[in-house]
């Protein structure tokens, strides 16, 4: 039996605010800044912050999984 979830606009707004705050906190962290410093300059300049933070989180979690 599949579970269907309905997301209303208030929940979306809450999620957007939470992601915005989390993304900015991560982007301001020393770990993120260090990680970003290892990337090619062209990639850092062209990639959206959302994409960089998601990649950082994915790579960090993959490292922790070992």
Percent of the chain with pLDDT over 70: 89
Q: Average pLDDT of the chain?
A: 89
For helices 9-27 and 49-65, angle between their N-to-C axes, nearest 10 degrees = 70
Work out the number of other CB atoms within 10 angstroms of the CB of residue 52.
19
Cα(66)–Cα(61) distance, rounded to whole angstroms?
9
pLDDT above 90: percentage of residues in the chain:
74
The domain ranges of the chain are 20-65
pLDDT at 27 over 60: yes
pLDDT digits (tens, 9 = 90+) for 43-63: 999 999 999 999 999 999 999
pLDDT band at 13 (very low <50, low <70, confident <90, very high): confident
- Angle value at C-alpha 22, between 12 and 25, nearest 5 degrees: 155
Q: For residue 3, give both structure tokens.
A: 């579970």
For the record, the structure tokens of 37 come out as 């410093």
């Amino acid at each position: 039996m599949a579970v269907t979830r309905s997301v209303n606009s208030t929940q979306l707004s809450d999620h957007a605010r939470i992601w915005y705050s989390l993304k900015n906190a991560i982007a301001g962290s020393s770990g993120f800044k260090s990680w970003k410093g290892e990337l090619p300059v062209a990639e850092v300049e062209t990639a959206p912050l959302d994409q960089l933070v998601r990649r950082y989180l994915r790579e960090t979690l993959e490292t922790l999984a070992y």
